[in-house]
Amino acid sequence: MSTWLFDLGNTRLKFAPLRDDGTPGEIIGAAHDGGRFDPAWLAGLPQRFDTALVASVASPALRVALLELLAARCRRITLATTCRVLAGVTIAYPEPSRLGVDRFLALLAAHARLPGRPVLLGGVGTALTIDLLDATGLHRGGRIAPSPALMREALHRRASHLPGHGGDYAEFAVDTADALVSGCDGAALGLIERSLAAATGLLGTPPSLLLHGGGAAALQPHLPAATLCTDLVLAGLARWHCAIVRTPLDGR
């Protein structure tokens, strides 16, 4: 029997088997519309498995729908939660439960991947999230803003003549679609670059910059110092599971 990792976001579900070395295996993605899943995603799962580890920032209704589907295939389901202290990471929030579990898990994975080094994390999904972790594993806080994709969607909803997709990035665009992608991506890039500069001033040394999430690949070419980490939340979920099993009362 096996253990599977599930990262349920606001627009996509990502899942992977947990390998024997404690890392995610091949990652499979599936879309959802906020209320239901594409039924084809179940083909990526075995008919029966032992444990499902679930991290969710989606709506309660969608989370319940996922749990019901998983309950038909596995013996045990565990929902990840944010802990104040775990696996060398200490959260800055006075109320840890208010920090999204996806951000927390990404911090766990980053600290494990770059131990003893400060890290700035940029998560690019429905929202753009930025979190700073110092070399000791102390979370110094972060920011939340609309992602480029959400900016485009919001503009299109308010002004339907503005295209919601398409275009090529340019510093000074000469086409509306190009100008839109350049402006929305540029806003995200500016926030990341400002945060990186502020983090360097605060810590006295530039942190490593890690990008993750579905929209990260579009920004990474414009941030030469950034490393793209597609599995950060799932890797953090595996790390969370390992730490909770070994120290069940730590930070809870």
- Per-residue pLDDT of 171-185, as tens digits, reads 999 999 999 999 999
Common-topology check for domains 3-79 and 85-246: yes
Class of domain 85-246: alpha beta
Residue 30 and residue 38 in contact, taking contact as beta carbons nearer than 8 Å:
yes
Which CATH topology does 3-79 take? Nucleotidyltransferase; domain 5 (3.30.420)
Whole-structure pTM value: 0.93
Say whether 102 is catalytic: yes
Q: What is the largest CA-CA distance in the chain?
A: 58
pLDDT in tens, 174-229: 999 999 999 999 999 999 999 999 999 999 999 999 999 999 999 999 999 999 99
Q: Which of 7, 102, 134, 231 is catalytic?
A: 102
**Token code pair at residue 180:** 């839109």
- List b or e across 34-44, with b for residues whose CB sees 16 or more CB atoms inside 10 angstroms: eeebeeebeee
Average confidence score pLDDT of the chain: 94
Domain ranges of the chain: 3-79, 85-246
